[in-house]
Amino acid sequence: MKKIVLFVTILMSAVLSMSAQSKKQPVVTWTTAIQKVEPHNLPPAPYLGGNSLRQIVEVSFGGETVSLKLSNQYNTDETEIIGVELAKALTQGESPAIDESTTTALTFNGSRQVTMKPGEIIVSDPVKFRMTDRMDVAITIHFGKASRTDVSGHPGSRTSSFIAEGNTNDFSKAVETTHWCYINSLIVNAGKKYGSIAVIGNSITDGRGTTTNHQNRWTDNLSKRLLQNKKTKRLSVLNLGLGGNCVLRGGLGPTANSRFERDVLDQEGVKYAIVFEGVNDIGGSWNGEETAKQLIDSFKAMIQKAHAKGIKIYGATIMPFKGNNYYNESREKGRQQVNEWIRTSGEYDGVIDFDAATRDPQQPDRLNPAFLFENDWLHPNADGYKVMGDCIDLKLFER
């Protein structure tokens, strides 16, 4: 009789465990947009090949089962990895220090070693690793063969990374660099009520003007607010900004048109999208009003694609830039034309009015001087980024 009871107990535990797992889904809690790294942003000596790289990221919400996505998308050579570990970082990036007791090795199809083929994106096996909300996670990659000149990564990390010679976890003499290489996403096995907000943008989303290693981009400020709100605490904010990015053509990195599906629609667990692009297109245009029309057509296409996947999509107005060399009357008319469409067309599911939040009340075609970064009249400083994150109505995400 005892054996039967024991068997039933074990069976019930297995059924409950399987039921709990069936209520889980993969959701990205941190990500970054990947591009081919320009020559001036490549890893410095001693380079990556045969060495170890520790990179620090700050997640949105936490979890207990995690996977790491790595990207070799823009490489024409293979990249050999002989080991990857996650650990709790002890700073937001000021140093490579970790809580060594939390070090957790990752595997790829059961093996610690993996070779990424040219253009390949890989995901590690799920691993037990306890993350808390807004936790700083150190990702340490030990490289075999890796190109010095052909690197997939994210130049504008606003966070320090550390290169140590050899296959090591001793970073006491590491070389510091403010770029991310190969890391793409951290994915949490989360409940069905969890989801993410994917933000596609340029340098103002990427965080130019924020404080290095302070994690104070406007998307970080929004994430903190969401976590403090009972109705939105299960949402992550995914920063997919690229410095110098354009929607239509030119700029730095793949255009927003070409990367929208990869960076927004194909992210695991996306429920909402925010489009905050266009200033670089208008700022480099010959005819601001004509460029505005093309931008609006692109935004309409993004809206259709998002809705086809059941994703709510919000438009963010383009901030003023008088005083920057982008400015002339034609371009200002184009900016106003795009913003008027965002505010009044009703095509987006909602509006985030960064223009209204950051412009000078006395001269609305320029930024509020209190928010200027390096007096370039384009990028806000840390105070401006806080205002941006604070101006967003959280009710947009309370469904």
Which long-range contacts does 171-178 make (Cβ < 8 Å, 24+ apart)? Answer: 171/52, 171/54, 171/96, 174/54, 174/96, 175/44, 175/45, 175/46, 177/43, 177/44, 178/212
In angstroms, the CA 300 to CA 73 distance is: 28
Could you read off the pLDDT of 157-214 as tens digits, one per residue?
A: 999 999 999 999 999 999 999 999 999 999 999 999 999 999 999 999 999 999 999 9
Q: What is the pLDDT of residue 22?
A: 57
* Shared-domain flag, residues 136 and 238: no
Digit-coded pLDDT (tens) for 306-359? 999 999 999 999 999 999 999 999 999 999 999 999 999 999 999 999 999 999
* Residue-wise pLDDT tens digits, 1-36: 544 444 444 444 443 344 445 589 999 999 999 999
Q: Is residue 217 domain-resident?
A: yes
> Dihedral of the CA atoms 308, 28, 397, 379 (nearest 10)?
-100
Give me the number of domains the chain comprises.
2
3-state secondary structure of 116: strand
Residue 251, domain member (yes or no): yes
- Domain boundary at 164, 184, 204, which? 184
Of 184, 215, 233, which marks where a domain is finished? Answer: 184
Same domain, 306 and 369: yes
Locate tokens 């081919």: which residue? 36
pLDDT surpasses 70 at 53: yes
Please check whether residue 9 lies inside any domain of the structure.
no
Q: What is the DSSP string of 237-306?
A: EEEEE-TT--SSS-SSSS-HHHHHIIIIITSTTEEEEEEE--HHHHHT-S-HHHHHHHHHHHHHHHHHHH
Q: Is residue 5 part of a domain?
A: no
pLDDT of residue 23: 81
CA angle 139, 109, 69 (to 5 degrees): 35
In a domain, 3, yes or no: no
* Structural domain that includes position 313: 193-397
The answer to whether residue 11 is domain-embedded is no
| Cα→Cα distances 201→31, 123, 245, 271, 365, Å | 13, 25, 7, 17, 21
For residues 121 and 239, state if they share a domain: no
CATH of residue 303's domain is 3.40.50.1110
Whether residue 203 sits in one domain with residue 154: no
pLDDT (tens digit per residue) in 269-304: 999 999 999 999 999 999 999 999 999 999 999 999
Same domain, 203 and 325: yes
Q: Does one domain contain both 328 and 390?
A: yes
Predicted confidence (pLDDT) per residue in 139-163, tens digit: 999 999 999 999 999 999 999 999 9
pLDDT band at residue 368, thresholds of 50, 70 and 90?
very high
Average pLDDT in the 219-245 region? 98
Are 178 and 198 in the same domain? no
Last residue of a domain, one of 134, 164, 184: 184
What value does the mean pLDDT take over residues 60-64? Answer: 97
247 and 380 housed in the same domain: yes
Share of the chain above pLDDT 70, in %: 94
Instruction: Indicate whether 227 and 147 sit together in one domain.
Output: no
pLDDT tens, position by position, 84-94: 999 999 999 99
Residue 330: strand, helix, or coil: helix
Q: For the residues 56-81, what does the mean pLDDT come to?
A: 98
